[in-house]
Amino acid sequence: MTTTPEDLVAAAEELQAGRLAAIRPLADVLAEKRRLVDQLAAIEEPYGRAYADALAAGWSPGELASLGASEPDRRPVGRPRKSRPGVRVQTAPKSAPSPRTPDPVESSTPTASAS
């Protein structure tokens, strides 16, 4: 079967038309997704400030979570948050290092066999 270059190009364009038709909806949804991501990024800072204000007013993170307010991804710029009461980092006591206990293999002495 002999085909001309024009026939090949027409067949390729026909095959690509179906694939290209699927790109338009994807491009539209991708543009909408980018728009929504930008909106979400713009609301993060005021949300973080409002969340911090609620904490400062006496609400606990658990209470806010039960109301549907999750902790913000980024905390607002300002003073570092206070550590929670009752949560302390325990440090090792400063004392002299304990003497090393020898391993059983090291403490055994070889015995000479009697000949």
Task: Count other C-beta atoms under 10 Å from residue 72's C-beta.
Answer: 17
pLDDT digits 0-9 by tens, 22-58: 899 999 999 999 999 999 999 999 999 999 999 999 9
Render pLDDT for 69-98 as a digit per residue (tens, 0 to 9): 999 987 656 666 666 666 555 666 666 656
DSSP 77: S
Dist CA 37 CA 81 (whole Å): 27
Q: Please write the tens of the pLDDT for every residue from 52-74.
A: 999 999 999 999 999 999 999 87
Question: Which residues, 6 or more positions from 69, have their beta carbon under 8 angstroms from its beta carbon?
Answer: 51, 54
Residue keyed to tokens 């980024």:
74
Nearest alpha-carbon partner for 69 in 53, 85, 83: 53
Task: Report CA dihedral (61, 66, 72, 77) to the nearest 10 degrees.
Answer: -40
pTM above 0.85, yes or no: no
Residues listed for the chain: 115
